[in-house]
Amino acid sequence: MPIVVDHAAARQRIADLAAGIVATEGVGALTMRRVAEASGASRSIVSTYFTGMHDLLLATFESAADRQAARFEAAVGRSARLEECLETLLPLDAGRLRDWRVIIAYLGMSVADPELAAIERRRIDGARRRVDALLVRDRGLPRGTAETRRDARTLVALVLGIAVDVAFEPGSVPTPMARRRLKDALRSFPAR
C-alpha cells in the first residue's frame, strides 16, 4: 500500500523550518542542505517541494505574511476596533516576532528583485486598503478620499516602524512598550 503524503502540509512544514533559520540567523544561513537537516529529510526530498532557493524563500515569506494577514482578518471578523486590529500586526509574542524577522529579511531581498518587490508592494497596498476600511468603519472617515488613504498609509507606516524597532530589541518581546507606542500614536492621530 503506497504511503499517502500531504504535499501542502509537508511544504508548509519545510517553509516553517526555513522561517526559523531566517529569523534567527538571516537569509545567508538558509540553504537547501540546512533545511533538509532541520527537517530530517534529504536534500532531494526538500527539492521535491521547492524548485530552488528562490521558491523556498518566497514560500517562507508568504507563510509569514499569510499568518500576519490571517491574524488581522480574524480581528476584523470579530469586529475588533482599529487599535486591536493594528495590534495583531505587531511582534507581541515569539511567533509574531519570528514572522517579522522573516519579513524584514525579505524586504532586504526585495530591493534587488523586481518580482519580490512587486509581491511586497501588493502586500503593503492590501494592508493600506484594510486599514482604510477600518478608518471608515471606526472613525467615520469618508470612504475613498485622499485624506483617508493618507491616514491609512500613515498608520501602516507607524505599525511597520514599531514592529522593526521591537524586532531588534534585545531580550524578550517588549509587549507593553509596543502596545503603548501604538496607543499613544492613535490617541494623537487626527479624527477628522
For every residue of 140-162, which 3-state class applies, written as one string?
Answer: CCCCCCHHHHHHHHHHHHHHHHH
Q: Which pLDDT score, from 0 to 100, does residue 131 have? A: 93
- Look up residue 182 and give its three cell numbers: 501604538
Regions in the chain scoring below 50 on pLDDT: none
Give dist(CA 58, CA 64) in Å, integer: 10
Q: How many CB atoms lie within 10 A of CB 1?
A: 3
Q: Which pLDDT score, from 0 to 100, does residue 188 have? A: 77
Contact indicator for 36, 46 with CB cutoff of 8 Å: yes
Q: Which pLDDT score, from 0 to 100, does residue 187 have? A: 86
Give dist(CA 132, CA 126) in Å, integer: 10
Give dist(CA 20, CA 184) in Å, integer: 32
- From its phi and psi, is residue 5 left (phi > 0), alpha (psi between -120 and 50) or beta? beta
Buried b (16+ CB within 10 A) or exposed e, 123-149: beeebbebbbebbbeebebeeeeeebb
Q: Which pLDDT score, from 0 to 100, does residue 157 have? A: 94
Contact indicator for 166, 178 with CB cutoff of 8 Å: yes
Q: Which pLDDT score, from 0 to 100, does residue 44 have? A: 83
